[in-house]
């Protein structure tokens, strides 16, 4: 196995290019075609916006920002769900060299206040009254904040009105002053491994990885009239990156979906060709299909189809020819199962892509096997989202692919993955000590993740340095493989393995309301049984135990889960156990449920 790898090639970004260039270059190449679809007319109904119309909105907003007094380098916050106005304002800020400081739409007023003050935000724009009020409640504690606008209160119209006093020449002068190495955004990390830090990302950081995407994943994001339905929060680099990829491509269309309450009809009406999601999204799609099949004949057929899909994918990855029997069975499963599952994601779906957290390989093989290549990547806020990605023609499941052309990965002596490339951030805002800690003496970014690199440069993530559990007996245990097996249970939402400095390994398990609603009636219980009651059912415990046993079969006894507790509560952002990007915050889980861990797993003994 390698300890270092650099992908051949390079990505060129000129010094005079910015994120705004993605839009203007698209118009120059392909004219004023449709670029945006906004769900303004209700579920399943879309309002198309051309590149020309989008560009006019961007320029009008940019003039308004200048008139408001926003100078190059000034910070402006967007506090909003995913919607097209977010995209307009993002490009307007980039055009004039202002710094976009996004806040997750789920953040509290206190969290927003910290970000507003740390970045000295001058102007904040919320999407609705509720988030406007959250900002307004802390405005008096934010000395740099001059005004709050609201998208639902026609913020774009207000900016257009402000901007009538700004000439085209003044706007052009501002646009021309912005350079590739200027600060484009400060994105605050989700806080899954500590207090959120503001990662400073330049235009070059984002442009380099966007252009790498065109080269590495052209089949998904460039070819065949690509359509992306975007519902991930744009405050997250992952969503923002793919927004840039779509708008900067020749004919990509991005549909902005502010919520997922009507996701299925929206998928059918928008007809995406590819989808991005975190693992939980794809787990829910699979679990819903499994629960719909039920326990009888359809359930048995579904189980056989799933096993066949996984085996088909594994055989293809291994280069093993498919038997005549497998080909015949596949034709049957295609007609009865696979086509229906793909159709639930839209009639034109061709690819699915997952990032943000580890994905169970069995789930990836399932999607791959039903004809939906599961593209996986790895990255951080500090790398403007992706750093490595599997290619369509080299989609080795279990790995997260190779780095972008010209970028490098290496494994340190302690097993940590370190990276170097044009998309690596310049540092943490106002935190020089943390910035120094993030880099090695020779300029590589420390990721905090444990990994290996194969001979072709593909990276496999094996865990996080901080997540490694060391039992009282001195056994090192990586919790992620165990957790991935347990959450395959259709009624489980999250599983967190515990046991640091304890006599054995335990686990906390939370229940999935959607999975329970289907599972409970099939086992003789009311579908609306409260989670607090369901958590006490022996049948629920026995169902989860089957998956714990499967997890334990993959490890030694010293690493196995000896006892687990089914929690009556869920991990949420309110109890700080989930980040806005739905990652589990282990320290928070250990803190919030400390009494459960002590009294129900270890009986107060260490």
CATH code for position 589: 3.30.300.30
Residue with tokens 């347990």: 486
Residue 387, domain extent? 279-465
Between strands 561-566 and 505-511, the pairing is parallel
CATH of the domain at 346: 3.40.50.12780
Burial class (CB in 10 A: 0-12, 13-18, 19+), 393: exposed
Range name among 176-190, 289-303, 357-371, 537-551 with the lowest pLDDT average: 289-303
Task: Please say whether the beta carbons of 88 and 57 come within 8 A.
Answer: yes
pLDDT tens-place string over residues 30-66: 888 999 998 776 677 899 999 999 999 999 999 999 9
Domain membership flag for residue 30:
yes
Q: At what angle do helices 51-68 and 168-177 cross, to 10 degrees?
A: 90
Closest to 314 measured CA to CA, from 326, 324, 329, 303:
326
Domain membership flag for residue 192:
no
pLDDT band at residue 193, thresholds of 50, 70 and 90? low
Same domain for 240 and 163:
yes
Same domain for 301 and 158:
no
Same domain for 480 and 597:
yes
Same domain for 139 and 64:
yes
According to the model, what pLDDT value does residue 41 have?
Answer: 63
According to the model, what pLDDT value does residue 332 have?
Answer: 96
Question: Which residue, 465, 484, 503, sits at the end of a domain?
Answer: 465
Same domain for 576 and 480:
yes
Same domain for 487 and 378:
no
Mean pLDDT of 72-89: 97
Same domain for 485 and 341:
no
Domain membership flag for residue 266:
yes
- Position 405 pLDDT exceeds 50: yes
Task: Please say whether the beta carbons of 80 and 48 come within 8 A.
Answer: no
Distance separating alpha carbons of residues 102 and 188, to the nearest angstrom: 8
| Number of domains within the chain | 3
Greatest CA separation for the chain:
73
Same domain for 473 and 452:
no
- Position 604 pLDDT exceeds 60: no
Burial class (CB in 10 A: 0-12, 13-18, 19+), 322: middle
Question: Which residue, 417, 444, 465, sits at the end of a domain?
Answer: 465
Domain membership flag for residue 260:
yes
- Position 367 pLDDT exceeds 90: yes
Mean pLDDT of 1-13: 94
Range name among 94-108, 273-287, 362-376, 465-479 with the lowest pLDDT average: 465-479
pLDDT tens-place string over residues 471-510: 877 777 888 889 989 999 999 999 999 998 888 999 999 9
Domain membership flag for residue 207:
no
Strands (E), 62-219: 75-79, 99-100, 121-126, 147-150, 183-188, 198-202
According to the model, what pLDDT value does residue 190 have?
Answer: 67
Proportion of the chain in helix, strand, coil states, percent, rounded to 5: 45, 20, 35
Domain membership flag for residue 219:
no
Residue 399 is given by DSSP the state B
- Position 144 pLDDT exceeds 70: yes
Same domain for 106 and 68:
yes
**Cα(first)–Cα(last) distance of the chain, in Å?**
39
How is residue 192 written in tokens? 């899954």
According to the model, what pLDDT value does residue 211 have?
Answer: 97
Domain membership flag for residue 134:
yes
Question: Which residue, 465, 489, 505, sits at the end of a domain?
Answer: 465
Distance separating alpha carbons of residues 277 and 377, to the nearest angstrom: 11
According to the model, what pLDDT value does residue 606 have?
Answer: 46
pLDDT band at residue 129, thresholds of 50, 70 and 90? very high
Distance separating alpha carbons of residues 351 and 83, to the nearest angstrom: 23
Mean pLDDT of 542-571: 91
Same domain for 298 and 287:
yes
Same domain for 287 and 423:
yes
Same domain for 168 and 146:
yes
pLDDT band at residue 574, thresholds of 50, 70 and 90? confident
Domain membership flag for residue 197:
no
- Position 537 pLDDT exceeds 80: yes
């Amino acid at each position: 196995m390698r300890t270092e790898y650099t992908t051949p090639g390079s990505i060129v970004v000129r010094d005079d290019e910015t994120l705004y260039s993605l839009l203007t270059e698209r118009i120059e190449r392909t004219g004023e075609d449709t670029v945006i679809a906004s769900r303004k007319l209700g579920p399943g109904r879309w309002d198309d916006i051309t590149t020309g119309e989008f560009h006019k909105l961007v320029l009008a907003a940019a003039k308004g920002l200048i008139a408001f007094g926003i100078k190059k380098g000034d910070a402006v916050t967007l506090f909003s769900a995913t919607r097209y106005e977010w995209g307009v304002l993002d490009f307007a800020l980039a055009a004039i060299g202002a710094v976009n400081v996004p806040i997750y739409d789920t953040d509290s007023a206190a969290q927003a206040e910290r970000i507003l003050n740390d970045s000295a935000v001058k102007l904040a724009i919320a999407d609705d009254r509720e988030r406007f009020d959250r900002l307004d409640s802390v405005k008096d504690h934010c000395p740099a904040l001059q005004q709050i606008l609201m998208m639902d209160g026609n913020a774009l119209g207000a900016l257009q009105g402000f901007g009538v006093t700004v000439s085209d020449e003044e706007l052009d002068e501002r646009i021309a002053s912005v350079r590739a190495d200027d600060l484009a955004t400060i994105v605050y990390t989700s806080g899954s491994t500590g207090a959120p830090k503001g990662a400073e990302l330049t235009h070059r950081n984002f442009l380099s990885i966007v252009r790498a995407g065109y080269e590495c994943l052209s089949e998904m994001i460039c070819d065949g009239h690509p359509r992306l339905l975007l519902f991930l929060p744009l405050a997250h680099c992952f969503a923002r990156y793919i927004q840039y990829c779509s708008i900067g491509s020749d004919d990509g269309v991005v549909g902005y979906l502010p919520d997922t309450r009507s996701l299925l009809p929206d998928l059918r009406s928008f007809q995406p060709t590819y989808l991005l999601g975190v693992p939980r999204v794809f787990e829910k799609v699979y679990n819903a299909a499994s629960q719909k099949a039920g326990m009888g004949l359809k359930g048995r057929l579904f189980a056989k189809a799933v096993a066949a899909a996984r085996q088909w994918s594994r055989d293809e990855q291994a280069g093993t020819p498919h038997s005549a029997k497998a080909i015949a069975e596949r034709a049957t499963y295609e007609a009865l199962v696979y086509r229906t599952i793909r159709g639930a994601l839209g009639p034109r779906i061709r690819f699915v892509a997952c990032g943000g957290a580890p994905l169970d390989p069995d789930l990836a093989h399932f999607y791959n096997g039903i004809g939906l290549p599961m593209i996986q990547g790895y990255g951080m806020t500090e790398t403007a989202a992706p750093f490595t990605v599997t290619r369509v023609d080299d989609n080795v499941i279990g790995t997260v692919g190779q780095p972008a052309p010209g970028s490098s990965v290496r494994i340190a002596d302690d097993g940590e993955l370190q990276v170097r490339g044009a998309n690596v951030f310049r540092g943490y805002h106002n935190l020089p000590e943390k910035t120094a800690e993030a880099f090695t003496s020779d300029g590589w970014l420390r990721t905090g993740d444990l990994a290996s690199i194969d001979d072709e440069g593909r990276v496999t993530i094996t865990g996080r340095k901080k997540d490694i559990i060391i039992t009282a007996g001195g056994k090192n245990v990586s919790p992620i493989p165990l957790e991935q097996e347990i959450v395959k249970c259709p009624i489980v939402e999250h599983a967190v393995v515990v046991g640091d400095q304890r006599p054995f390994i335990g686990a906390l398990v939370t229940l999935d309301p959607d999975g329970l609603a289907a599972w409970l009636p099939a086992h003789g219980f009311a579908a609306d049984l409260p989670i607090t009651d369901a958590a006490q059912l022996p049948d629920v415990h026995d169902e989860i135990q089957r998956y714990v046993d499967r997890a334990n079969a993959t490890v030694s006894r010293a690493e196995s889960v000896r006892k687990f507790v089914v929690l009556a509560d869920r991990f949420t952002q309110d109890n700080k156990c989930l980040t806005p990007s739905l990652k589990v915050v282990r320290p928070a889980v250990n803190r919030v449920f400390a009494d459960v861990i002590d009294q129900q797993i270890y009986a107060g003994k260490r």
